[in-house]
Amino acid sequence: MALMTPQLDTVFAALADPTRRAILAMLLEDDMAVTDVAEPFEMSLAAISKHLGVLTASGLVSQEKRGRVKWCKLEPDALREASVWMQGFGQMGGLDLDAFERFLDKELGD
């Protein structure tokens, strides 16, 4: 059993939280500072900072500090692997998903 592509683990785990999905939706519109990301939520800034850490660790978001502001940017490419994995699932019966995950490792590896 292959059980590779640990990126899938972190990406799907990141997507499993509604707060994090809402953050991604916000970042879809524009890059944002951490404080601005946190503004609409009824939870502490530190909690949002942690969520952004999870998103960054999964590759779904990148962060760049300029001055005292840390800008958060959506990285849609990180969704490709997960999305393609799911597409394959829904649409192609009988596919060898182990081979498929190996394919994704190779294609998306860099």
Site residues, its own copies (CB under 8 A): 1-6, 8-10, 12-13, 15-19, 21-22, 24-25, 28-29, 40-41, 74, 76-77, 79-80, 82-100, 103-104, 107-108
State phi, psi for 16 to the nearest 5 degrees: -75, -10
Look at residue 1 and give the partner it binds from DNA, its own copies, none, a contact being a CB closer than 5 to 8 Å depending on partner kind. its own copies
How many Å is the maximal CA-CA distance in the chain? 52
Look at residue 69 and give the partner it binds from its own copies, DNA, none, a contact being a CB closer than 5 to 8 Å depending on partner kind. DNA
To DNA, the closest distance from the beta carbon of 98 in angstroms equals 18
Q: Is 68 a binder of DNA (CB under 7 A)?
A: yes
- Cβ neighbourhood burial of 32 (10 Å; 0-12, 13-18, 19+): buried
State phi, psi for 27 to the nearest 5 degrees: -70, -20
